[in-house]
Amino acid sequence: MNDPAPADDLDTDAGVGGSAAAAVATAAPVRKRPKPGERRVQILQALATMLEQPGAERVTTAALAARLEVSEAALYRHFASKAQMFEALIEFIEQSLFTLANQIIEREPDPARQIARVLALVLQFGEKNPGMSRVIAGEALAFEHERLGTRVNQCLDRLESLLRQSFKALAESRGSSTPTLDAQASASTALALLLGRLHRFVRTGFKRLPTEHFDAETRLLLG
């Protein structure tokens, strides 16, 4: 780096449009423009992070924009509404869970182990993503558009259906005379157990972990 020029050598007559301006422009940090789709991901990441605050109030677009240091108008260039942001978050949750759950079903031949591993998957996902636990449990959607609650319920219905298949296979392997009925009851109980643990996780400010003592409960559930 060269030494600064003596004061006598500086061009004191150079205005803002002269070489001084060029130097300032070179030194000033340039804010990089996000790549296509990158800002959308950043918005969802910020939303999920804001939901991770225990006892957090309803997330507003103003607060979300402030966190990202952009205008609210910038948010709406990527999502038509806040409801769409939550829908994208729900889609991410669903894709993440079912991609792994389907792999478990395909690779694990034992239906009892299928069930145990799928249940553990959901609880571990919620534990690692507290904000998304609030979405799955519905707590984060309490004052949002009602279609979001419907969308989460569809995801949960899909999860119950997947569990029901494994519970039916388990009942048949144990010689049950009513495997379909047994599977319906067991899958419903398993889903209630999952939601109960996620609700407790949220209610306690993320202090009571959803995976706490879950192995013992799984053994009771599977008989």
Phi, psi of 138 (to 5 degrees): 90, -10
User: What integer is the mean pLDDT of 84-112?
Assistant: 98
Domain presence at residue 218: yes
DSSP string, 128-189: H-HHHHHHHTTGGGTTS-HHHHHHHHHHHHHHHHHHHHHHHHHHHHTT-S-HHHHHHHHHHH
**Total number of domains constituting the chain:** 1
DSSP one-letter code for 67 = H
Residue 6 above 60 pLDDT?
no
Percent residues over pLDDT 90 in the chain: 79
Exposed (0-12), middle (13-18) or buried (19+): which is 15, by Cβ within 10 Å? exposed
For residue 8, pLDDT over 50 is answered with no
In a domain, 125, yes or no: yes
Q: Check which CATH number belongs to the domain holding 96 and give it.
A: 1.10.357.10
Q: Is residue 108 in a domain?
A: yes
Amino acid code (one letter) for 34: P
Of 4-8, 45-49, 72-76, the range with the lowest mean pLDDT is 4-8
Asked if pLDDT for residue 200 goes beyond 90, the answer is yes
Instruction: Output the pLDDT for position 223.
Output: 87
Q: Please, where are the H alpha helices in 56-110?
A: 61-68, 72-76, 82-107
Least confident of 2-6, 44-48, 113-117, 202-206: 2-6
Residue 103 lies in a domain: yes
Tell me what percent of the residues of the chain surpass a pLDDT of 70: 83
- Global pTM? 0.81
Q: Give the Cβ contact number of residue 90 at 10 Å.
A: 19
Whether residue 181 is contained in a domain is answered as: yes
CA distances from 31 to 35, 47, 66 (A): 12, 22, 16
pLDDT (average), residues 213-220:
94
The answer to whether residue 26 is domain-embedded is no
Structural domain harbouring 105: 82-222
